Amino acid sequence: MNEILDQIRAIVGADHVATGAAIHQDDTHDECLTVTPVRPAGVVRPGTTAEVAAVLRCCNEAGVTVTARGAGSGLSGACVGVPDGLVMAFDRMAEVIRIDVADQMAVVQPGITLAALDDALAPYDLVYPVEPGEPSATVGGTVATNAGGMRAVRYGVTRQHVVGLQMVLASGTVLRSGGRLAKLSTGYDLTQLVVGSEGTLALVTEVTIRLQPRPKARATILAPFADLPTLAAAIPAVTGSGVDPLMLEYLDVLSMTGVTQAAGIDLAVDPAVGTRTNAYLIVALQSRSSEHLQDDVELTGAILTNHGALDVYVLSPRAGADLVTARERAFFAARSAGADDIVDVVVPRSAMSDLLLEAASLGAASGSLVTGCGHAGDGNIHLSIFQPNSQRRQDLIHQIFRHALDAGGAISGEHGLGRAKRDAFLALADPNHLALLDQIKAVFDPRGILGPGVGPARDSRRAEAAPGVSAGTDVGPGGDAQRHDANRHLAGLAGATGEVAP
Ligand SMILES: Cc1cc2nc3c(=O)[nH]c(=O)nc-3n(C[C@H](O)[C@H](O)[C@H](O)COP(=O)(O)OP(=O)(O)OC[C@H]3O[C@@H](n4cnc5c(N)ncnc54)[C@H](O)[C@@H]3O)c2cc1C
């Protein structure tokens, strides 16, 4: 490893390679609740695509793994490296390369944060509408996770906005896919294959994104409901009305209490309504003019009232902004309250209510507390699981996953599989699907050096040398035990279904 590190220092400069105690604690983890921080053998910070390519060439020849890292705001452990591999951080590649007003597109480097990109676009009255609730997230990280967030109900997820990439393959080959094009029908779409691939197929060094006009008029409505099924039934009525909401977020009453207390917000809901409320719907509306907006507010209020809302509050701009920010911080409120895991399942919107009821009853049966909030317009549910016993928690989560899959859903709607949900995916997925994913991975990365132990493919060589398995450089407690518990459980699952757990 020392020899490789010397070669890499010669490529990127000694100041941009950290090893041992010089590795910052921030580079050892993301925000995932269940993946143990790991100190990798080195953290490399390239400044150019040519440097990324040269480093990968070197690592590929030596069989050294590379885990890409954006801002480390991910919730699945996907940017956490392994003890005998390298982490490649992209914060030195954070420029806007061009903003094209006529095409409504921009070309940016992957390390730019969403906050910095928004600052750069504001003077042009343009917006990049992907907002995964964490403005420190980078464009590279959001591309690799296909991030969604609260505005996805209107604008779609990252995939809908990425039209071109420059990428570097594990071999060091640099290639481009797509471009500043509104449409493309020229063979396999490599751009879309790499979006959501969690740093396991190629490293992204340039991203071409679609932009939207920046609407100015915005309103926020809060509607309390007596129960989740009534709330869920109101959602298609809103979306089917022609109102095109910017956000449609639900919070159960415990989650709302947690986020408002954490943010110091008083919802000022009539106490007589508050005592009957078990779930809240937040609807954000946005329009090109205040007249249009007013029409939409009135229509939405009427629909919610007709569909069982206990009351409808149109918030002041300040109160609306504060509530949306508080909702964005729901993850931190759940963490402070002691949540042991966060589940990010997605189901068809019409199946959301059933899943929520089933999750609550499965939770009660296992002696766990399950609370939640989520992107109700997308059927994407974030459940906070409070169950300190690892085995019981895994059993519960697997039951929830099975229920979601049976309802036509998926394990993750936006956080990705990373390390945290990978084992569950491998145990529950169709073997033919897995086999094809393995082949795709092998074509892009034959030596399995990118993102070891991360994502959907059973990467060829290194996958099982996951954090905690190699000798002694974990920097946090618990990971080994959790991983082995999960593996035992999954072996049981495989036995029950006839699948072979990897
Ligand atoms: C409070 C909070 C709220 C959140 N809410 C949401 C939400 O509503 N919706 C949502 O989708 N997410 C949400 N997230 C998760 C997170 O913000 C996203 O997953 C984000 O996309 C991660 O970006 P990052 O730059 O932090 O990437 P990291 O966490 O550093 O890395 C994520 C993945 O990207 C890969 N990667 C990074 N850079 C590159 C590159 N240049 N080339 C290839 N691969 C790369 C990494 O290897 C890893 O697989 C939330 C997180 C927090 C903390």
Judged on CB neighbours under 10 Å (0-12, 13-18, 19+), 361 is exposed
| Residue 320, C-beta contacts closer than 8 angstroms, at least 6 positions apart | 218, 219, 220, 284
Task: List, for residues 488-499, the tens digit of each pLDDT value.
Answer: 333 333 322 222
Of all protein residues, the one whose alpha carbon is nearest to atom 44 of ligand 1 is 199
Q: Is the CB–ligand 1 distance for residue 68 below 6 Å?
A: yes
Q: Is the CB–ligand 1 distance for residue 117 below 6 Å?
A: no
Length of the chain: 502
Q: Is the CB–ligand 1 distance for residue 132 below 6 Å?
A: yes
Ligand 1 centroid, distance to 141 Cα (angstroms): 4
Angstrom distance (rounded) from CA 234 to CA 399: 27
Amino acid at 276: R
Ligand 1 centroid, distance to 494 Cα (angstroms): 30
Phi, psi dihedrals of residue 416, rounded to the nearest 5°: 90, 170
Residue 205 Cα: closest atom of ligand 1 = 41
Could you tell me if 92 and 49 are in contact, meaning their C-beta atoms sit under 8 angstroms apart? no
The pLDDT value recorded for residue 480 is 33
Q: Is the CB–ligand 1 distance for residue 75 below 6 Å?
A: yes
Q: Which of 32, 145, 191, 336 to mutate to test the pocket of ligand 1 (most atoms within 8 A of CB)?
A: 145
Could you tell me if 200 and 441 are in contact, meaning their C-beta atoms sit under 8 angstroms apart? yes
The pLDDT value recorded for residue 193 is 97
Ligand 1 centroid, distance to 159 Cα (angstroms): 14
Task: List, for residues 101-146, the tens digit of each pLDDT value.
Answer: 999 999 999 999 999 999 999 999 999 999 998 999 999 999 999 9
Per-residue pLDDT, averaged over 334-353, amounts to 95
The pLDDT value recorded for residue 459 is 62
Examine the pLDDT at 472 and tell me if it is beyond 50. no
Examine the pLDDT at 475 and tell me if it is beyond 50. no
The pLDDT value recorded for residue 215 is 85
Element (H, E) at 98: strand 96-100
Ligand 1 centroid, distance to 345 Cα (angstroms): 17
Token representation of residue 467: 């954090």
Residue 158 Cα: closest atom of ligand 1 = 11
Q: Is the CB–ligand 1 distance for residue 28 below 6 Å?
A: no
Element (H, E) at 317: helix 317-328
Kindly calculate the radius of gyration of the chain based on its CA atoms and give it in whole angstroms. 23
Please measure the distance between the N-terminal and C-terminal CA atoms of the chain and give it in whole angstroms: 28
Examine the pLDDT at 483 and tell me if it is beyond 70. no
The pLDDT value recorded for residue 482 is 33
